[in-house]
Chain A
Amino acid sequence: MESAAIAPYIAISAVLFAVGVAGVLTRRSPLVILMCVEIMWNAANVVFIAFARQFGHMDGHIFAFFVITVAAAEVAIALGLIVLIFRRRDRVDADDLNLLKG
């Protein structure tokens, strides 16, 4: 594998993060919102790994690994919550979940 400068990786990471932000803000299905959050986790991971490569240090890889671990735990809990919501209503729309609204 040839070595690469870091700038393109930062650019693609920023693009992915922005797409994730747009998705969270525009979509209303909690499942899709969760997927967009995953995209943002992964955008952060790309930068971690790019900087690890740039500085020749494994710490970035370790951090990315823990991000993946926490993301997996988060997905499990969040999907459990979505299943619970589905048991109470027949459709899930983030706009309908306003029980905590003041």
Chain B
Amino acid sequence: MSLAFIAGALLAAAGALGVVLARAPVHNVLSLVVNFIGLSILYLTLQAEFLAVVQVIIYAGAVLILFLFVIALLTVRREAPHGPGERLKGQRTAGYAAGGLVGVLLVAAGMELFGGSGQAPAPAEGFGGAKAFGLELLGPHLLAFEAAAFILLAAVIGVVVLVGRPKKGS
């Protein structure tokens, strides 16, 4: 385990915990930034350079700005603390227990299947770089690429239809 892996894993885990535990919406978003930076470091240790860059640009750049815009536009308030008025009794405890159970199961299954696998052989030259990625994306996966473009178009049109205010009299 390299130092970079430890740093990335700690950042990612701390950011995720911050998202779940922080009360103020802006703090949630900032924790998510930390989480994404940590993930980007993890991608770098896996020689996925292109995806590390994409992660920072798309997630830390675009998606989080969207979140910040919504929070700033709508002046989202702090979430009310869980109290006696909470509708589902014991929701919090049950939620944390379920999350812990999922985590234990996933770790156990992963270690059972791949805990003994050794070091991977060094990948081919240029693995994970933009060139290899582009050749793979626009070669064998061209159809999926086109489908992704269609999904993004549908999302743009969907948002305009949902949120755009209709003109008066139409």
A residues near B (Cβ < 8 Å) are 1-29, 31-32, 34-36, 38-39, 42, 45-46, 49-50, 52-56, 58-59, 61-62, 64-66, 68-77, 79-84, 86, 91-93, 95
Contact = CB atoms under 8 A, between A and B. Distances in A.
Nearest to B149: A69
Given A53-B47, A77-B155, A9 B42 contact: yes
Contacts of B95: 22, 24-26
Of A5, A22, A79, the most chain B CB neighbours within 10 A belong to: A22
B35 A50 contact: no
Nearest to A56: B123
The A interface, classified by DSSP as helix, strand, loop or mixed, is helix
B151 A31 contact: no
Nearest to A22: B99
Contacts of B170: none
Of A27, A53, A65, the most chain B CB neighbours within 10 A belong to: A65
A54 B117 contact: yes
Nearest to B116: A7
A26 B96 contact: yes
A23 B96 CA distance: 8
Contacts of A83: 70, 73-74, 163
Contact of A76 (B16, B39, B127, B155): B155
